Amino acid sequence: MTLKTTVKLPSLVVLSVFLAIPLLLTWRARLFFVIDDWSALLHLANYPLWRYLVQTDAEQWFPFFHLCYYLLIQLSGENYQILVTANCLGTGVNAFLVYLFLRRHLGQGPGFILGLIYCAAVVHGAVIWHAYNLCYLLAFGFFMGALLLADDYLAHPTGGRLAGLGVCALLAILSHSFAIMSLAVILLYAFLLGEDKTARWRVGLVLGLVYLIFAAGYVTFAGVTPASSQNRQILSQLPGLSYVRYLFYGGFFFPFYFLLGGTIMAHKLLYAPILGGVGLMVLLPLIFLKGEFRTKRMALWVLLANVTFFLLVGLARHQMTISQAGSLRYGVFTLLGALLLGGLAWQTLKRLWQPQWARRLGCLLAGVVLAVQVGASLHLKKDYEREGEMVRIAYQSLEKEATGATVREAGGARELFCPLTHPWLTRGQALTIRRYLRAEQSER
């Protein structure tokens, strides 16, 4: 009984800390529906539930996320803070899963510190303060669950772990199509770090089955056309150097750009390769020249994983500006790799150097990075508050005469709702959304 308590108590404390941090960072924030929230609300207001669940958003098909978002809208109505709180709690849970994974490879202390940095990271701002991006939280959380179960299965194969791995992997890609390549990341992990050959192949077979189930659902409900909605030549042309550049920026440069606080700088295409290059040049030589064999394999997995995440999304979107590869929401996935590389380098340094000096240096650097992340998160919070307040004013004045927040479209045919933030949404569509939300509130 005592042993059980000592094992569980630290995990409960860590989970509580990780749940509290996002809530503190959003304390007393004044937020409102932004960006893609309005697309989803308009679809909810105009379509029956079954059609909303299976429809696509550009090339993305994520029915499980649509179900979760629908249930949250039913609960929250116009109260956006409920949606933000749900995203805060989801971020805390995901940070805890990151901690569990890092603890296995780096130890409890480094795992906790790096998990703390992940929990407070600025990349979560694009998710926490934008309710629609719950899809990334769900996808990453189920990916981490599948990765942890794969790690367990490779060490101690059981049918339950293998089944759980399959369920988590399927829910990850049904939460967001960006996570579709996370299955390949898990497969790479199994073959690079797993010792049991039979277990590795079984993991591969389960992940292959998940791919087949997803492909069947995508073709049945979405068809082939949405896959090329962001790049019409995706099925007829081979990608060129712009695709490779997209992969390189998204997988290698931007994760360190996020980690080192680059989000508060202008001209991210200038600073991303500088910060990313510095990060890689400091960490990789230490790991690959002085690290132990398993450390090198883990670092190789990180490098391959961060690029793998972008293989399909890059194929669809590499013709856009390269800045799109640096969207904060992608950092929810790739920041894990940057943190793990830092932890592996520190582990190698501690073995080569005096442990107490390595610990002091590690704590100092981690403290600086954590402070930078908190500062950048608070800076981003102000941007979302400003945009949310602008939309709130337009929303509250919908039934009045046109104000400065609403203007006539160029042709004079339609009156726009809030052109500075939602230039495509008409005032009539916004009224439809409000009637839908208030009807849901009255029913409750």
pLDDT in tens, 68-95: 999 999 999 999 999 999 999 999 999 9
pLDDT tops 60 at residue 402: no
- Eight-state DSSP code of residue 261: T
**Residue 121 and residue 335 in contact, taking contact as beta carbons nearer than 8 Å:** yes
Euclidean distance between CA atoms 139 and 134, whole angstroms: 9
* Tokens 């090329």 found at: 228
Among candidates 157, 146, 213, which has minimal Cα distance to 183? 146
Look at residue 236 in the predicted model and tell me its pLDDT: 60
Q: At 416, list the tokens.
A: 């726009």
The DSSP result for 248-267, as a single string, is: HIIIIIHHHHHHTTGGGSS-
Confidence of residue 383 (pLDDT cuts 50, 70, 90): confident
Neighbours of 105 (CB within 10 A): 17
Q: At 243, list the tokens.
A: 């695709």
pTM: 0.91
Phi first, then psi: give them for residue 40, nearest 5 degrees: -65, -40
The whole-number average pLDDT for the span 354-371 is 88
- For the chain, the average pLDDT equals 87
Give the DSSP H/E element, type plus range, for residue 126: helix 125-128
Euclidean distance between CA atoms 249 and 275, whole angstroms: 11
Look at residue 137 in the predicted model and tell me its pLDDT: 95
Among candidates 135, 232, 133, which has minimal Cα distance to 175? 135
Q: At 152, list the tokens.
A: 């367990």
Q: Tell me which of 73-82, 188-197, 422-431 is least confident.
A: 422-431
pLDDT digits (tens, 9 = 90+) for 260-317: 877 766 678 888 899 999 999 999 999 999 999 999 999 999 999 999 999 888 887 7
Handedness of CA 414, 417, 420, 422 (dihedral sign): negative
pLDDT tops 60 at residue 1: no
The whole-number average pLDDT for the span 140-151 is 97
Largest CA distance in the chain: 74
pLDDT digits (tens, 9 = 90+) for 309-334: 998 888 877 777 788 888 889 999 99
pLDDT tops 80 at residue 341: yes
Going from N- to C-terminal start, the domains of the chain cover 2-391, 397-443
pLDDT tops 80 at residue 399: no
Euclidean distance between CA atoms 194 and 118, whole angstroms: 26
Confidence of residue 226 (pLDDT cuts 50, 70, 90): low
* Tokens 């404390």 found at: 13
Give the DSSP H/E element, type plus range, for residue 92: helix 80-106
**Residue 176 and residue 102 in contact, taking contact as beta carbons nearer than 8 Å:** no
pLDDT tops 80 at residue 9: no
Look at residue 28 in the predicted model and tell me its pLDDT: 79
% residues pLDDT > 90 (the chain): 56
